[in-house]
Structure 1
Amino acid sequence: MTEQPTSFERPQAGTDPADPRGALLRAPGPQRPAPGAAGLPQAQAQAQARGAGETPPGAPAAAVSDGTGPEHSQPAAAESMGAPPARAKPGVGEHRPRPASAPDAIPAQPPGLEQERRSGQGLPPGRPTPMRRDGDRLRFVGAATRRIARGIDLDEIVMGLCRATVPTFSDAILVYLRDPLPVGDERPTGPVVLRLRRTDRIPEERDTEGGFLPVFQPEPSELSALTAELCEVRPGGALNEVLRGVRPVFADAPAARAALPELLGEDGESLVPGGQRAILAPLRGRRRVIGAAVFLRGPERVAFEADDLLVAAQLATHSALGIDKAVLYGREAYIADELQRTMLPETLPQPTGVRLASRYLPAAETARVGGDWYDAIPLPGSRVALVVGDVMGHSMTSAAIMGQLRTTAQTLAGLDLPPQEVLHHLDEQAQRLGTDRMATCLYAVYDPVSHRITIANAGHPPPVLLHLGGRAEVLRVPAGAPIGVGGVDFEAVELDAPAGATLLLYTDGLVESRLRDVWTGIEQLREKLAATAQLTGPDHPPPLEALCDEVLDMLGPGDRDDDIALLAARFDGIAPSDVAYWYLEPEDAAPGRARRLARRALARWGLEELTDSVELLVSEVVTNAVRYATRPVTLRLLRTDVLRCEVGDDVPQLPRLRQARATDEGGRGLYLVNRMARRWGATRLSTGKVVWFELNRI
């Protein structure tokens, strides 16, 4: 389908604009002239008609309200305005008064004319005649397009088109859209396929009670059953030619008679009444045709007129442009969701001695991206870094800055820097990004062996610690200045982290809103945690995932003004009996001593089946360490669900795996570790490095 102009010229069908039959009429059959009116001039005939209580031809009635919204509301009585009787054609420069109705109201039939239709009595003398048909059409198009424009997504716009046209303009409607819908400037490939998106009709129970005339009987579901769900537009076919023509056409036009069977299918052709009671309107977006709409009227209703093609064209144009915007908005929302998803961890790690759970909620559906983030980063020595931060703002820029700060925090955590040093470097990075790049951040490091946690804060809300007995306390952590201020020293505090306790890190969206300040929200959070812990008893902490859900339940309706990031950590710790730690002098006898110490620890833990593997791998790793170390080498064994061995030295250079040649006397130690260990790795520290490996317990 090629591009065609979207302007519509008024059809010259020779239709009398004063004819009382129109798309928006709900009057009885054609008006008969009053006795003696034949052969008189038009103005005199109208005067006699008014004297006889009949409606003059130049003043058609408006559409009957369907009562579904402000567009279909009934206007106020015309006599309250005190307006004089309307002329058939206003003179030049005269102002036609507008009825006292809502601005968005679709014109409705005046009560007097409805009474005339039901009782057969004419309008009493002195009352204004009904509105002209052209003015009714303009007001209907204005109200209908406003209703269509209110939609944001695709379904809302299509529903707005259906609700605005049925029953005011048509008795039923079928809307077809391209599948898939093209987005923006992308050029679709493959054949053009139209899918039936929605159907609508007048409910049967309202056909007579609400003043509607009976129409044909199929229900919306039956309309879908009688028509083809998919239609392939064949190049050069009749449907393709109608869609290329852009302008709506009557169903009895030669082009439409050939196109409708292709669109509706063989069974759907029976839905189209005879005569000008169906309109096929292409839906053209900014660059291409994206679908079609079929407007239908029942046989008992007045047929469409030539002016109704202009109405259908306006409805189709506004709907197509709205659908274009909805598709673009949906693509932007998808991009925003993907951006936010990539900025946050897909899954949390499972470090030894701590269990983790998280939640993230955007501020609203219309603001899917924000600057809140959380992270959990494994550190050497079975430790874990817990991070939560909040970049000011709710835009793509905030999300991009958040991603850069999160990446920087992960890099700094890999260097095993103290928490206050990590915040200091984050502050410098934020200043390099711009002068107005502000963020808050809380960085904590948990050590399951010592059962201690070190926390540094940069203007972030303080964490809450829920003890095993059900007591919840707000930790006293120096607030500090936000990241990006510059020239500020950050302070770290070290606190106890007893086994069974739960630490809750969060952003201010959880505790602050228009209804409460930050400290009121923090106190409510503390009380909520304490109340939840009471449900499971003093010896059993609440399940971590359920606890996160309970925390989010404290948010009431209208209580979310900001993004929410939540990170919960349950401290299990590692018992002292499951830890073995030694210092080894950097001498040739160190590998042999390391094998003996590891053998004794495994015997004490009942893991003799791992003795051979552990002795071999410990000997290789310790040998590499003492070869270059100048200070004592550390050896630590940890017994959890796996057996973990860590060897530390003061050399910062990390070992790398390489393939030894057949003539080399060394270089096979890490190859053995890589083949036999479940996992292994090396981490650089501020004082050197740590090489570790894990073995499965048999």
Structure 2
Amino acid sequence: MEHVAATAVVDADGTVTGWSEGARQLVGHLAQEVVGTPAAGLLAEPVPHRVAAAGGGPVLLRHRDGHPVPAVVTACPLLGPRGTPVGFAVTAERPARPLSVLVGRVFEQSSMSMSVFDVDQRYLRVNDVACRVMGEPEQALLGRAFLDTVPDTEDNRGFVHHLRRVVETGRPVRYESFTDAPGEPRAHAWSIEMWPVREGDGELTAVALAAFDNSEQYWARERLALLNEAATAIGTSLDVVRTAEEMVQLVVGPYADFASVDLLDWVLAADELPPAAGQEIGERIVLRRVAHASLREGTPEAAVGLGESDVYPPFSPPARAVRERRAVLAHAGEPEFMNWVAERNIRGPDGRPFRAGVHSMLAVPLRARGTTLGVAVCVRMSHPDAYGRDDAVFAEELASRAAVCVDNARRFARERATALALQHSLLPQSLPGQAAVEVAHRYLPCGSIAGIGGDWFDVIPLSGSRVALVVGDVVGHGIQSSATMGRLRTAVRTLADVDLAPDELLTHLDDLVTHLASGDGGAEAAELGATCLYAVYDPVSRRLTVAAAGHPPPAVVLPGGPARLLEMTSGPPLGVGGLPFEATEVQLPEDTVVALYTDGLVEDRDRDVDRATAEMCRALAAPAGSLEALSDGVLKAVLPEQPSDDVALLLARTRALGGDRVATWDVPPDPAQVAVARQSATEQLTAWGLDEAAFVTELVVSELVTNAIRYGEPPIQLRLIRDRALICEVSDGSSTSPHLRRAHAYDEGGRGLLLVAQLTQRWGSRQTGGGKTIWAEQPLPPA
């Protein structure tokens, strides 16, 4: 009730001569009704003598309608010209409310839930908020134990435990709780303070408590914690679908009863570019479901299956979110929400509608770097609270973080696809036919976030039925590594054509890498680093010559024996320069398996290299029906499920060319021996049944032996090899290589090698330890 102060003027005879508006409000009389009447008529009872003597105090006035009005009056004398009293100025106001009454009103009207319990946890008093929380009127609670008014749950037992603790210790307790209350539709977060209530003598007779509902702050902290969790839970792998799955798994439960992620088709196509900036999105939007999750087993709320695409009508919240590029809220009772539910129920699996209770949904676009990737939808059914603006702000922030992870995964997939296509285009599509070895190969691109690496392998046919086996590794990942790998592989093939020894070839390759690193635009090989192993196998001598530049040694499996690493000295990686490479030569029996591999097969940050190498050797020695089966067995036995680096494996089973396919003659350095050599070659062809090749072979032998006698040095040797082609080789002790030139009209010589080049399939020369060998190949006549 508002404070009212009344003023009246009473003359010396006790007659009212003045009346204020405050006096009218206090007792209800108008001025014309009171002025001129005795003041005593306004009293409900005579003024106590002590009040009159003191010039004021509590009195009881009579209201116009008859009820008494308590008031505190003060009379101030009014003096005349001679200083004698001529009347009194009387003020009156209602007495102040007793403090106990005021405290009671504060308790009842507090915005917090307040209760008082006795020492046995029985209700003594509750305020209005506490009654609402408990769902009971005060009279239904007073005198009852707390546990008799609530379910017997762990939270409620904990509440009683704190009440008893206050009684036992006499100290206040403060704690926070998130629990249901009988009178509330959902759980609330409470900040509760309990304190002891004592009598004047200090005896503890009750426990009072105040509970503040800080649910809004609690949910704000929960949303912030969910955002912090999203930083580590979303984007753990550079996979678009897995990233979407991580998002829905994060929000289902604490934030949604059902959630889904739909993406535009171009996001899932690694070879497609995003739409141009500013490009309009059509009214009807086609989206593909990549992830969904639900609190219910089997996700019955999903109307679209995983991997399926669907057309969303323009009015639907997901279509609006994509088109308007903002979060869209929809609630039960709103036309758009009801249309969306009805349209979804039509498309629902087996005609199953949304379960009863769906009341709120939120659609938020997934946007990253100015581009819309898709939409995420969250639906609430059992969750009591509808989505609000705070939830929309949270969803936009979460969707923004998830979209960046999705876009990163999309970009990685596109770059990986590009690097993989480049890698495959640079690796051998099919291995060339040759008789020296049987080969099988495997290449596994890296599946980690690092991207495609620069591993490669090659099989290069050489002269004299020999074959070169190559593996290499450009350290690093991505398109740059693949491009560098392609350059090195091309360089190895070019140097192999020169028919260099393995250690000489690596020396030239090392010089090439060094020059690339020092030239413009070519530093990638030196920055990334590269290793290489180059081996040459000769099926005639059954010798394997190997040299390595920072590469693991090959494994060798002799027929019926265990696998072992070849003992050899590996030189430095390519590009270091200044250090020599050493070749190792071993003689192998036929059917020996030689395994060349890159370090990704045995090296990994979570594996011991020696143990992995031992596992590889055991797998290589295991029985297998073919080299292909052996290759699969090695990979299965050695590699983890997710290798962290590229793997290249090249297996070669050696073959031998016996004496029945090779004929050799020593030729004295006498021109008369040319005819003898020619005759010997003709007889050998007859023995092999190759009479049709005799004419060309006689010409080739005649020219090459003549050149060796005329320009070369002893010893001179002629060799014929019957392989997939007929090979004629002439060796001598001179290191000077011949050059093909066109003879002039009056030249007496110079036409021999030109004739050889025109009659044979190919020809060339190679340096040997004791000189050189000139060779020529011609196709075998049809069988």
Give the TM interval when normalised to the shorter protein.
Answer: 0.5 to 0.7
Distance 1:241 1:140, change over 3 A: closer
Which deviates further from its counterpart, 320-329 or 394-403?
Answer: 394-403
Q: Would you say 1:200 and 2:286 are equivalent positions?
A: no
Distance 1:429 1:294, change over 3 A: same
Written as runs of structure 1 = structure 2, the 5 A alignment for 1:272-421 is: 277-298=360-381, 301-361=384-444, 365-393=448-476, 399-421=482-504
Helix, strand or coil at the partner of 1:140:
helix
Contact 1:466 1:501 in 2 (8 A): yes
Contact 1:273 1:299 in 2 (8 A): no
Aligned with 2:276 (options 164, 187, 196):
187
The one-letter code of the counterpart of 2:778 is F
TM-score, normalised by the number of residues in structure 2: 0.60
CA distance in 2, matches of 1:187, 1:648: 67
Q: Please name the residue that 1:243 is paired with.
A: 322
Which deviates further from its counterpart, 446-455 or 149-158?
Answer: 149-158
Q: Please name the residue that 2:131 is paired with.
A: 52
CA shift at 1:628, angstroms?
A: 8.0
Q: Please name the residue that 2:726 is paired with.
A: 644
Aligned with 1:153 (options 236, 239, 253):
239
The one-letter code of the counterpart of 1:230 is D
Contact 1:362 1:564 in 2 (8 A): yes
Contact 1:684 1:690 in 2 (8 A): yes
Q: Unpaired runs of 5+ in structure 2?
A: 1-103, 116-126, 136-153, 164-173, 195-207, 518-525, 743-750
CA distance in 2, matches of 1:275, 1:475: 70
Q: Please name the residue that 1:43 is paired with.
A: 111
Helix, strand or coil at the partner of 1:196:
strand
- 1:368-416 Cα deviation digits (max 9, x unpaired): 4335433221111111112233445556655554443333222111100
Q: Please name the residue that 1:6 is paired with.
A: none
Contact 2:289 2:306 in 1 (8 A): no
Which deviates further from its counterpart, 254-263 or 293-302?
Answer: 254-263
CA distance in 1, matches of 2:308, 2:447: 38
Distance 1:328 1:518, change over 3 A: closer
The one-letter code of the counterpart of 2:766 is L
CA shift at 1:446, angstroms?
A: 0.7
The one-letter code of the counterpart of 1:685 is R
Q: Would you say 1:446 and 2:537 are equivalent positions?
A: yes
Helix, strand or coil at the partner of 2:499:
coil
Q: Please name the residue that 1:176 is paired with.
A: 262
CA distance in 2, matches of 1:76, 1:404: 74
Q: Please name the residue that 1:214 is paired with.
A: none
Q: Would you say 1:230 and 2:298 are equivalent positions?
A: no
Contact 1:174 1:196 in 2 (8 A): no
The one-letter code of the counterpart of 2:580 is D
Larger Rg: 2
Written as runs of structure 1 = structure 2, the 5 A alignment for 1:262-281 is: 267=347, 277-281=360-364
CA shift at 1:262, angstroms?
A: 12
CA distance in 1, matches of 2:310, 2:669: 78
Distance 1:297 1:691, change over 3 A: same
The one-letter code of the counterpart of 1:322 is C
The one-letter code of the counterpart of 1:354 is V
Helix, strand or coil at the partner of 1:54:
helix
Q: Please name the residue that 1:463 is paired with.
A: 554
- 1:650-684 Cα deviation digits (max 9, x unpaired): 8655699xxxxxxxx9999899979xxxxx44445
Distance 1:114 1:142, change over 3 A: farther
Contact 2:360 2:380 in 1 (8 A): yes
- 1:252-279 Cα deviation digits (max 9, x unpaired): 6999579959996964697598996233
Written as runs of structure 1 = structure 2, the 5 A alignment for 1:532-543 is: 532=622, 535=623, 543=626
Contact 1:251 1:257 in 2 (8 A): yes
The one-letter code of the counterpart of 2:303 is L
CA distance in 2, matches of 1:691, 1:572: 22
CA shift at 1:529, angstroms?
A: 4.2
Helix, strand or coil at the partner of 2:303:
helix
Q: Would you say 1:548 and 2:631 are equivalent positions?
A: yes
CA shift at 1:419, angstroms?
A: 1.5
Helix, strand or coil at the partner of 1:565:
strand
State how many pairs are aligned. 583
The one-letter code of the counterpart of 2:133 is E
Contact 1:376 1:384 in 2 (8 A): yes
Contact 1:273 1:296 in 2 (8 A): no
Helix, strand or coil at the partner of 2:500:
coil
The one-letter code of the counterpart of 2:131 is A
Which deviates further from its counterpart, 374-383 or 551-560?
Answer: 551-560
TM-score, normalised by the number of residues in structure 1: 0.66
CA distance in 2, matches of 1:695, 1:456: 34
CA distance in 2, matches of 1:49, 1:296: 35
Helix, strand or coil at the partner of 1:331:
helix
CA distance in 1, matches of 2:304, 2:466: 61
- 1:57-83 Cα deviation digits (max 9, x unpaired): xxxxxxxxxxxxxxxxx9999979999
Q: Please name the residue that 1:18 is paired with.
A: none
Q: Please name the residue that 1:164 is paired with.
A: 250
Distance 1:45 1:526, change over 3 A: closer
Contact 1:595 1:615 in 2 (8 A): no
The one-letter code of the counterpart of 1:110 is F
Q: Please name the residue that 1:476 is paired with.
A: 567
Q: Please name the residue that 2:178 is paired with.
A: 110
- 1:612-670 Cα deviation digits (max 9, x unpaired): 3x246546766886898855898755445x443446698655699xxxxxxxx999989
Contact 1:510 1:555 in 2 (8 A): yes
Q: Please name the residue that 2:778 is paired with.
A: 693
Which deviates further from its counterpart, 370-379 or 267-276?
Answer: 267-276
Contact 1:380 1:690 in 2 (8 A): yes
Contact 1:357 1:544 in 2 (8 A): yes
CA shift at 1:448, angstroms?
A: 0.6
CA distance in 2, matches of 1:684, 1:307: 81
CA distance in 1, matches of 2:529, 2:261: 49
Q: Please name the residue that 1:579 is paired with.
A: 662
Distance 1:433 1:76, change over 3 A: farther
Q: Unpaired runs of 5+ in structure 1?
A: 1-35, 57-73, 84-96, 100-108, 206-216, 537-541, 657-664, 675-679
Percent identity over paired residues:
31
Written as runs of structure 1 = structure 2, the 5 A alignment for 1:111-130 is: 111=179, 113=181, 126=209, 129=212
Distance 1:566 1:294, change over 3 A: closer
Q: Please name the residue that 1:489 is paired with.
A: 580
- 1:18-61 Cα deviation digits (max 9, x unpaired): xxxxxxxxxxxxxxxxxx99xx86727888245437179xxxxx
Higher strand proportion: 2
Contact 2:358 2:382 in 1 (8 A): no
- 1:177-199 Cα deviation digits (max 9, x unpaired): 11122867663999865223146
Helix, strand or coil at the partner of 2:111:
helix
CA shift at 1:503, angstroms?
A: 1.9
CA distance in 1, matches of 2:460, 2:554: 18
Distance 1:128 1:391, change over 3 A: farther
The one-letter code of the counterpart of 1:187 is A
CA shift at 1:352, angstroms?
A: 0.9
CA distance in 2, matches of 1:463, 1:80: 75
CA distance in 1, matches of 2:445, 2:673: 55
Contact 1:231 1:263 in 2 (8 A): no
Distance 1:130 1:555, change over 3 A: farther
Contact 1:249 1:256 in 2 (8 A): no
Structural RMSD (CA): 5.4
